[in-house]
Structure 1
Amino acid sequence: MKKNKTVLFGALVLSLFFAQNLSAISFEDICSGLSKRANTIGEFTQTKKINSNGRQLKSSGVYIICPDGIMWKTLKPFPLKLVLTKTQMIQTSADGRKSVINGAENQVFKNISSILSSVFSGDSEQLKNNFETEFFLVDDGWRIELTPKDSTIASAMKKLVLSGEAKGKDDVSMNRLEILEASDNSIVYEFSNQRYPKELTLDE
């Protein structure tokens, strides 16, 4: 009995310690933690829910986030690669055909590219400039809700919801991104098997 009480006491002390550490973490800390990841490589699962009929469309693949941009490579149900930089978006289909959007000629694209870059890089000032921000601590993690200020962006999406884990100010990860569209459809990205190499290989 005494041993059980000791184990319970130890577990209680640890839980209080981690809870105290987490309660000291702010929105800026989360953004700073995300921005310290020079490169992120992982797997994603995308689920799009069509509100009008309740259908769910699922796809999965791998992704890379680096200072030069973002690469989404869908593997299932069919191959598709999307590369997003600050100046252009390149989409490559399974048969090798490419479509390119030039950011210099498309203001909407420039806005979206800037927003996505700030979301994944944890640029707190850029996020506050573009969104009304709400920050929550939940269990052993965090959630950020972003409501767009720009009317052009708001016409496409109502809200972005980011969530993830925080084991400390220097150990932050984003595991989920939800996009609530103006049409009431939603897209959820779930990230897994993430790693953070200092440098990318030539293949990557």
Structure 2
Amino acid sequence: MKRAFLSLLLLFSTAPFAQSLLSDVQQSVVNAPIIKGEFHQTRALIGVNKKLISEGYFLVDKSKGILWVTEKPFPQTVKITQSELQIQNNSQVVMRLNSESQPGIKYINELLLSIFSGNIQIIEKMFDINGQSTKKGWSLHLTPKKSGPSILRNVDLAGKTVVDFVSFETNTGDLTQINFSKVKTPDSLSPDEAAKFN
């Protein structure tokens, strides 16, 4: 996971150790109302030989939702809130899905917010959790519970005070890996950033 760990790591798989691990992660991750940073995403899709690479930045406002702004290879903005998922190309809305007709949107919003904020309680409701923790950082391997998201095979997370790596594998075998950098927790969004949520 592009992260150095000590050679002797303890794998937490039983309930008491899992609770200890989750407690360590919860205490390590900064709990901030606003998180922003840059991302580098690589997608490997079944049946597609070439990996799809994109770069950009993200904004998380727990009271509003998540903005995923792709700058390369072409501009695109994805806005996810509790009520809808919206995709914009060059400021023009090309897709809008309502959470009432698409209940999965609420799940996506909750999962992403819980990942960025380290809200282990929500993650624990959706997934069985294994992982490891050292002074240099932590990593989690999430497997959906029977009542959890059926579209995912597993999710991997790694970080220290913030989440700096996420990997999603779908049941069809598609793999998305995202590295985060320059992550900050400002007190507020700039006027321009706040306007993007409107």
Q: Which stretch of structure 1 is more off in the superposition, 126-135 or 71-80?
A: 126-135
Residue by residue, what CA displacement relative to the aligned partner does 1:61-103 show, whole Å, maximum 9, x if unpaired?
0111111211000000000000111111111013623421111
Write the distance in 1 (CA, Å) between the matches of 2:133 and 2:109.
27
TM-score, normalising length: structure 1: 0.77
Residue by residue, what CA displacement relative to the aligned partner does 1:85-135 show, whole Å, maximum 9, x if unpaired?
111111101362342111122122222222222222222221111110112
Ranges of 4+ aligned residues in structure 1 off by more than 4 Å: none
Report deviation, 1:31: 2.8
Greater fraction of residues in helix: 1
Contact 1:73 1:80 in 2 (8 A): yes
1:29 maps to which residue? 24
Which runs of no fewer than 5 residues in structure 2 stay unpaired?
1-8, 10-19, 194-198
Contact 2:126 2:147 in 1 (8 A): no
Contact 2:118 2:163 in 1 (8 A): no
Task: Supply the AA of the counterpart residue of 2:126.
Answer: N
From 66, 89, 104, the counterpart of 1:108: 104
**Are positions 1:58 and 2:53 aligned together?**
yes
Which runs of no fewer than 5 residues in structure 1 stay unpaired?
1-18, 20-24, 166-171
SS at match of 2:121: helix
Give the alignment's Cα RMSD to 1 decimal: 2.3
Contact 1:50 1:186 in 2 (8 A): yes
TM-score, normalising length: structure 2: 0.79
Task: Supply the AA of the counterpart residue of 1:122.
Answer: G
1:190 maps to which residue? 179
2:84 maps to which residue? 88
Aligned length: 175
Q: Which stretch of structure 1 is more off in the superposition, 29-38 or 108-117?
A: 29-38
Write the distance in 2 (CA, Å) between the matches of 1:85 and 1:191.
21
